[in-house]
Amino acid sequence: MIVFITGGAKNGKSSFAQDLAVKLARGGKRYYIATMIPCDEEDRERIRRHIADRDGLGFETVECGRDIGSCLLQAEPQGSFLLDSVTALLMNELYPDPATWALDPTAPERCEKGLLELCGRVANLVLVSDYIYSDAAKYDAQTETFRKGLARLDRAIARIADTVIEVSAGNLILLKGVLPQ
């Protein structure tokens, strides 16, 4: 089962996704695909919070900030996977060298291909993404490339997902499919 969860920052997406991935595992293997490559202390603190939140839930962490398909070299495809987050994955692929911030315009296409392949190879996958592309503001070209790239990835995942859920202020909005039991 493929479940796609989207919503604004700090709305409860990750906690909900963790609980759902545990439920989908039905006692089997659980993998947390950690995509964030920390750049500063704020990132490191966020990672520490996420690790503490999943303490005791039985997740094996697989660090995979780029080339998402390679995560299966460290995990069994019949397990239950939680990928948090599509947003961080795209950022890592768009800017492979944070020292230069040189944008790789092929990143959205590459990420889409990798994510769709991953979706097709695993038994259960919960993907988390941030809903950041709906305002009407005009941004610089690099930010627009990121926003459009993330919208592209989210649309591609939502198309093939069995269930699509938006989390808003802790409330679940079912957009497609049914909530897994």
Q: Where are the domains of the chain?
A: 2-138+150-176
Instruction: For 24-57, write each residue's pLDDT tens digit.
Output: 999 999 999 999 988 889 989 988 988 888 889 9
pLDDT at 101 over 80: yes
pLDDT of 138 over the 90 cut: no
The pLDDT value given to residue 22: 95
Q: Environment class of residue 34 by beta-carbon count within 10 Å: exposed (0-12), middle (13-18) or buried (19+)? A: buried
Is residue 100 very low, low, confident or very high in pLDDT (cuts 50, 70, 90)? confident
Does CATH place domain 2-138+150-176 in 3.30.450.40?
Answer: no
Q: Give the Cα separation of 47 and 121 in Å (integer).
A: 27
